[in-house]
Amino acid sequence: MKYLIVGLGNIGDAYKNTRHNIGFDVVDCLAKRWSVEYEASKLADVAESTYRGRQVTLIKPTTLMNRSGRAVAHWMQQKKVSLDKVLVIVDDLALDLGVLRLRGKGSDGGHNGIANINAILNTPRYARLRFGIGSNFGRGRQVDFVLGKWDKQEEEDVSFGIERAADATESFIFRGLANTMNVFNTKPSS
């Protein structure tokens, strides 16, 4: 079985450790666990691994966040991965910090990266793991918040959340969507 795990984010040092790049952080955690390195390739940085007998491709699109769909479509086709074996990891303002929500389909929820993937794939029927980044910002400050770095007080929760999101991704690969939703769509206990 082949899986495509997509971490959404923006490339470049200016975006490292920002809330919007949590998808990159989660796939980086998996690459570290599995001792694999990324290589620059078409539309994405790509790392290949095997997890419990499954072939897994990790990608970090090198397109802009809002054009991530091109990278997802390309690597699905390149690696011959079916839609039910794709997982997109993304930040979510509507969830409290560190809360995970795994779904097998859904709207873009106002996230431009997901909106573009839905449009390019012509379907919202693929798994997405939403990582809560909270919504602690004032009126008109959403962009600054999303593109901002984590506060010192948030870092411990973020580290715990990244590990938990990596666990959820491994569970998705090995145990499937429904079983993983039952375990990980609950309040974390740090």
* Three state DSSP letters for 57-104: EEEEECCCHHHHHHHHHHHHHHHCCCHHHEEEEEEECCCCCCCEEEEC
Point out the catalytic residue in the list 3, 5, 20, 168.
20
Mean pLDDT for 124-131 is: 96
Helix (H, G, I), strand (E, B) or coil at 17: coil
How far is residue 34's CA from residue 88's CA, in Å, rounded to a whole number?
19
pLDDT at 109: 86
49: enclosing H helix or E strand: strand 44-51
Annotated active-site residue 74? The verdict is: no
Model confidence at 1: pLDDT above 80: yes
pLDDT at 142: 80
188 confidence band (pLDDT: 50, 70, 90): low
Model confidence at 190: pLDDT above 60: no
Class of domain 2-184: alpha beta
Distances 16 to 11, 25, 148, 172, 177 between C-alpha atoms, Å: 8, 9, 10, 26, 29
How far is residue 83's CA from residue 34's CA, in Å, rounded to a whole number?
23
pLDDT at 189: 58
User: pTM of this prediction?
Assistant: 0.94
pLDDT at 85: 98
pLDDT at 139: 78
